Amino acid sequence: MAKKSNFPDIIFIGQPNCGKSTLFNAIAGLKAKTSNFPGTTVQHTHSEVNIKGEVVNIIDLPGTYSLNPSDPAEKVALTHLFLEKPDLIINVVDASVLGRSLELTLELIELEYPMIVALNMVDLAERKGVEIDIEKLARTLGVPVVPTIASHGRGIKEMLDAALGTLEEGRSAARIKWSRDVEEKIEELEKQLPESFPIVANKRFTAVKMIEAGKLLFDKMLKDINPPLKMVLDKVRNDLQTMHNAPAYEVIAAERHHLALKNFEECCSVRRGKRIGFLEKVDSIIMHRLLGYLILLAVFLGFFFIIFKIGGPLEELLSGPLENLRHSLSIGLGEGVIYHLADGLLQGIGGGVAIVLPYFIPLLFLMSFLEDVGYLARAGFLMDTFMHKIGLHGKSVSPFILGFGCNVPAVVSTRILESRRDRIITSLLIPFIPCSARTTIILALVAFHLGPLWALGFYVFNILLLAVLGRVITFFFKIPSPGLILEIPSLKMPSLKNMMKKTYFQLKSFINFAWPILIAGSVVLGLFQYLNFDRFINIILSPLVEKGLGLPRELGVTLVFGFLRKELSLIMMSDALGVSIQSLMTMISKEQIIVFTVFVSFFIPCLSTVAILWKEIGRKVAFISMALNTGVAVIVSLLVRLILRK
């Protein structure tokens, strides 16, 4: 791959939760998304930064526990590392979990690229009673080690100096030997590597990765292109297996594990003794078998209570001027096509500002709080039992919660799920989660006209339907979910600055991706109204809308084309019925309001969701999702209508 920029490439790589993005943000300004939920930087972010006069290209890769990827986020890290040789690796390490973090450090050293270690969260290590002899660690590893506390911006300058120093010297990390018998076997394979063989980093690293390779695809491919080499590989793997009576990949992983522990013990002293600090006590309560669930319920109720307390008034505040603006626009431009286009554009932009943002920003902020504290991983632990019932596991909790804000970032965040099966099921369920737009509809219609109890009932019904759907969808997947393996990071005090940055970054990705599509959809619908297509479409849809759902025919466009701008279904509805939302009851009955809300909630959420499904998971799943949403919306709203008719 050609080098994108002629500035040196510095990559930040570390295990999930080591403070990599915080460190990255401290240097590169508002770029990366940090959190305390393992695996959050799902896209990798680039930024050109000027450090002491030298411009460098900094890349923050998603967290990875090892260079043998298990989930899609980790694959992003590796393709980058292997395809484009970085000029410098900054391996960010969580000092409070040094024993395990060193395993990745040792693996990175095997690459023999220029590298430094940013020993982050040294304050947390001290609090845990871990004293680290930094000089000794640097000598043992053979790479510079710089202590940092990214969240307080300490040690950043020294780390940058070390980075630039190593960059200039171009001094590569030195290879660290494993036990002799394993080394001999690796050399045996290394010698057989033909010149034409694609080498990653160096011959030894390539040989080790061949031995560790888990993908059957790799073995089959090698058999085809170079059978003798495959024979040597099989012999080396079998020899390792007989020597250590464990599969070859385990022997290699164990070598790194024991070497990391040896380095850890040599360079650190740990004041053992289970010091029950304040955070540990809080943790045991949060994770308590019964108390934990009460707290979880309280946290979620509080979570949504705050969002609506902020979102509601904010939305009223914003939608007022939007209405006046729309009004003055219609006076100014008359009834021509320009008016409809301009009105479509305004509603698209206005829709985003007045309806999505008031709920979305508080939700993102509170989400980042839950993530940074470390509560989200614990919610995943507590929720795993229920998620299991619908064929998923605890790790899908974070995408589901994000779905309440907007389905688009929720689909993106499914990258943290290891198996494609879990990713597809979670992504097929996310469009059924009421996003802020649909929440506004539920509040404005159900809560306003029928009372808050009905609205709460609607939410419960929605979640029950999600569970049933989950059961049904998993039925189609033969392979079971690979089960939950989720690291529970230590509870941390979140930094306000960090949470603000993360909210801003998440918002930016919504604005860049979802909003333009929403505006485009809105303009298209404006055109429909101009060409009075909508009357034509209402006629086509009338059998379903009128006969089936028992709703006034004029609502056809609102119902079906709501997905072009779901945020504005309310305004479309009041336009179609020619009456304001508050005085809706004069036109339609309570039952009709429920049927309408059910359909709108379960129908295709919005164009942006379909687009992100297409981009993230693939075309097939995007179409299946649309069919699923349509089917469920029609069936459920028909059923609801029958039940209410009695």
Partner 1 sequence: MVNLINAPEDTSLRIVDVLGGHGVRRRLFALGFHKNDIIELDSRSILRGPILVRNLTIDTSVALGRGVARKIMVEVIGEKK
Q: In this structure, are residues 11 and 81 in contact, taking their beta carbons and an 8 Å threshold? A: yes
Q: Which of residues 231-260 bind partner 1 (CB under 8 A)?
A: 246-247, 249-250, 253-254, 257-258
Q: Is 13 an interacting residue with respect to partner 1 (CB under 8 A)?
A: no
Question: Which residue in 84, 123, 188, 487 binds partner 1 (CB under 8 A)?
Answer: 487
CA distance 585 to 597: 14
Strand pairing of 54-60 and 9-14? parallel
Q: Alpha carbon 436 to chain centroid distance?
A: 18
Residue 325: both structure tokens together:
């603006």
Q: Is 393 an interacting residue with respect to partner 1 (CB under 8 A)?
A: yes
Q: Is 482 an interacting residue with respect to partner 1 (CB under 8 A)?
A: yes
Q: Which of residues 269-298 bind partner 1 (CB under 8 A)?
A: 270, 274, 287-290, 293
Q: Which of residues 85-104 bind partner 1 (CB under 8 A)?
A: 96-97, 99-100, 103
Closest to partner 1 by CB, 95 vs 624, is: 95
CA distance 517 to 523: 10
Question: Binding segment for partner 1 among 163-171, 219-227, 378-386, 540-548 (CB under 8 A)?
Answer: 378-386
Question: Which residue in 61, 377, 433, 445 binds partner 1 (CB under 8 A)?
Answer: 377
* Minimum CB distance to partner 1, residue 307 (Å): 27
Closest to partner 1 by CB, 380 vs 562, is: 380
Q: Is 37 an interacting residue with respect to partner 1 (CB under 8 A)?
A: no
Total binding residues toward partner 1, as defined by CB under 8 A: 47
Question: Binding segment for partner 1 among 175-183, 475-483, 561-569, 632-640 (CB under 8 A)?
Answer: 475-483
Q: Is 60 an interacting residue with respect to partner 1 (CB under 8 A)?
A: no
User: Which DSSP string corresponds to 333-386?
Assistant: HTTSHHHHHHHHHHHHHHHIIIIIHHHHHHHHHHHHHHHHHTHHHHHHHHHHHH
Instruction: Give the number of other CB atoms < 10 A from CB of residue 304.
Output: 17
Strands of the sheet containing 88-94, edge to edge, are 45-51, 54-60, 9-14, 88-94, 115-120, 145-147
First to last CA, the chain: 66
Helix or strand holding residue 265 (H, E): helix 248-267
CA distance 394 to 386: 8
Beta bridge partners of 12: 60, 90
Dihedrals phi, psi of 55, to nearest 5 degrees: -90, 125
Q: Which of residues 184-223 bind partner 1 (CB under 8 A)?
A: 214
* Minimum CB distance to partner 1, residue 362 (Å): 28
Closest to partner 1 by CB, 264 vs 432, is: 264
CA distance 152 to 145: 18
Closest to partner 1 by CB, 375 vs 528, is: 375
* Minimum CB distance to partner 1, residue 293 (Å): 8
Q: In this structure, are residues 515 and 562 in contact, taking their beta carbons and an 8 Å threshold? A: no
Closest to partner 1 by CB, 344 vs 380, is: 380
Closest to partner 1 by CB, 262 vs 327, is: 262
Strand pairing of 88-94 and 145-147? unpaired
Question: Which residue in 221, 291, 464, 485 binds partner 1 (CB under 8 A)?
Answer: 485
Q: Where are the beta strands (DSSP E) in 63-103?
A: 88-94
Q: Which residues fall within 8 angstroms of residue 618, CB to CB, at 6 or more apart?
A: none
Q: Which of residues 155-184 bind partner 1 (CB under 8 A)?
A: none
Q: Which of residues 313-342 bind partner 1 (CB under 8 A)?
A: none
Closest to partner 1 by CB, 249 vs 504, is: 249
* Minimum CB distance to partner 1, residue 3 (Å): 30
Closest to partner 1 by CB, 418 vs 616, is: 418
Binding residues for partner 1, rule: CB under 8 A, are 65-66, 68, 70, 96-97, 99-100, 103, 128, 130, 214, 246-247, 249-250, 253-254, 257-258, 261, 264, 270, 274, 287-290, 293, 377, 380-382, 384-385, 388, 393-394, 418, 480, 482-488
